[in-house]
Each structure stands twice: as structure tokens, then as C-alpha cells.
Amino acid sequence: MAVTELVARYGDFPDITRGRLETLQVNLGYVCNQTCFHCHVNAGPNRREVMARETVDELLAFLRDSRIGSLDLTGGAPEMNPHFRYFVQSASSMGVAVTDRCNLTILEQPGYEDLAEFLAEHRVQVVASLPCYLEDNVNAQRGDGVFRQSIAGLRRLNDLGYGGGDGELELTLVYNPLGPSLPPAQEELERAYREHLSREFGIRFTRLFTIANMPINRFAKSLAREGKYNSYMRLLRESHSDGNLAGVMCRSLLSVDWKGYVYDCDFNQMLRIPLGGGAVTGTHVRDLRASLLDGMPIAVGDHCFGCTAGQGSSCGGALGK
């Protein structure tokens, strides 16, 4: 059975609508220096999709006109987009708080040696994936050598004041399970991360987010290959909590693809589900007014149970703490 058919199998996620728009989440392209097993973007070094400077300027105009306070940059490795620094500098000079979803290993790549300093200089918040504090588990999910490079990247950020506890330069780590299971309790896992990373490597961080793996793209295909897709979907559905619906990120976030088209969230973007389930041709950010989004229906599907299962998942970590 094709993954698209599998995704469409359960169609009874509750209806939800948008609240006030607070965050613009922008995918700067699918190029990445890694090829992680669970990647919902199918990113990698051979991808060619990269946001153009013209689209970055359209997004800056949208930020200015709509007075959104938060810009969340993702990819791929967003820093590999040639306009990344221009975008960060321009947005932060407008008073917009910028978050970089950083894979850590990019900080150690040739040509990016000064990236950490640039992020610190512009007070960019760093959100970084580290799916375990044990080397073998990280390498199994993200590739050989990734754990050591991630530790080196974290040390570099700590040396610049990230994760230092003064709340200024925030360093958030993100955990996701290795396989088709729900994440453990966020607070307990944060304690274990803090203790291990401090003792073994002297590393500090601000907080830990736990998120569930979304049953889409590379992860969904691997589950389908192993005959585990249906049991994972069942687990997500059976663990759904209505209490998580108020906090799902699509209520306050708008996701933009590398061409400038908008979606309810990054996952819908990957599944090509247009904003609000509207026109399949999509809506471009240059044609959008933020004030019109308030109260608009959100396009939901079976994959949404990945956001509401258990403690819930969002780009801000667990929902039901």
C-alpha cells in the first residue's frame, strides 16, 4: 500500500481553527549536510530546493506589515541557504525574535566556522535536535559521527554563552524517539539529559523539548517497509488527548515553503495540504494578509494525531505538561 493511501486511512481528527498569528516558520530549502532516518523533509546534500532572495524579501515585507514577533527558520539545514544571514540580520533589525532550527553538525562544517558567532551576535535562539544523550543511539538515527560533531557544536555554543541560564542566549535541545513509540515524560527526560551531558561533556542547555515522530515521508516509508505503519497510527490515535488541541502549533503559526507558499504547519507543507484545505494551487505569502487568518479552519488529517498523542507535540515541545 502506498504511503499516501496509508496517510488517508483515518479521517476523523477533530476540527480546529486558527487563533492569533504569532510565529512565521520558514523552510529555507531542503539542502542538508545530513540524511537522518526519521527526517520528515527528506532533506539531504543532493537536494536542490533553496529559497530565493526575492522570496526572502517578500517574507520580510510580510513580517513588517503583519507585525509578527517571531521568525522560526528551518530546512534542511537553514544555514546552508545563501540568504540565511541576510534574512536573520534584516528580521532582527526589525525587532523580530529569530529562532534557528540547527542540526549542530553544520557548526563544524568547512565554510561555517563563524556561524555560531553570527548566531550569538544576532541573539538568535538555537533549537537543536539531539535524539539521545548516548552516542550509539544518535549515530543510528542521524548517521555515523553525528554525536561527536553535535557535542563539538554544543561546546562551541556554550563557549559563546548559549544555555548559560541568564535566559539571553537560549539553547533548546529536541528529543524524538528512535522508533515507532511515544516520547517519555519531558521533565524526567530533561533531568536525565542535563545530568548526563553535564557529567560526561560539561554541556549546558536551556531546556529539552520532546516530540513524537510524524508518520509521514521517510519515517512513514520505513514503517511501511517494516509492516509497522498501521500499529504506529493506532498507537497515535489511541493516545490522542482532546486537551492537547488548544496547544497545537498550527493555531498560532504559519508555515512557508521554499517558494513562498503558505501552509498550516510544516507537516502539511510536506504533505502538500494547502492552507485551510483551500485551493490546491496554494496561497503565496505575497497575496496574504495576516489579519484574515484569525478564526480560519485548519486543514487536518490522520498525521495530526502525531501532535495530540500522549503529552502532545509541537515546535515548542510537549503540550500537556
**Closest distance of CB 63 from ligand SF4, Å:** 21
**Closest distance of CB 35 from ligand SF4, Å:** 5
Q: Does 126 bind ligand SF4 (CB under 6 A)?
A: no
C-alpha cell belonging to residue 188: 524526567
- Determine the Cα–Cα distance for residues 62 and 56; give it in Å rounded to an integer: 10
**Closest distance of CB 75 from ligand SF4, Å:** 6
Of residues 291-320, which lie at the interface with ligand SF4 (CB under 6 A)? 298, 300, 303-304, 307
Report which DSSP code applies to 320.
Answer: -
Which element (helix H / strand E) includes 127?
strand 125-129
- Specify the residue, 58 or 247, whose C-beta has the smaller distance to ligand SF4: 247
**Closest distance of CB 108 from ligand SF4, Å:** 13
CB atoms within 10 A of CB 289: 9
- Determine the Cα–Cα distance for residues 89 and 118; give it in Å rounded to an integer: 9
Coil, strand or helix at 254: strand
- Specify the residue, 70 or 90, whose C-beta has the smaller distance to ligand SF4: 70
Q: Does 36 bind ligand SF4 (CB under 6 A)?
A: yes
Sheet with 171-175: strands ordered across: 207-210, 171-175, 125-129, 97-102, 70-74, 23-27, 253-256, 261-263, 283-284
**Closest Cα to residue 213, out of 153, 162, 141, 278?**
141
- Specify the residue, 15 or 166, whose C-beta has the smaller distance to ligand SF4: 15
Q: Does 60 bind ligand SF4 (CB under 6 A)?
A: no
Q: Which residues bind ligand SF4 (CB under 6 A)?
A: 32, 34-36, 39, 41, 43, 75-77, 103, 248-250, 264-265, 267-268, 298, 300, 303-304, 307
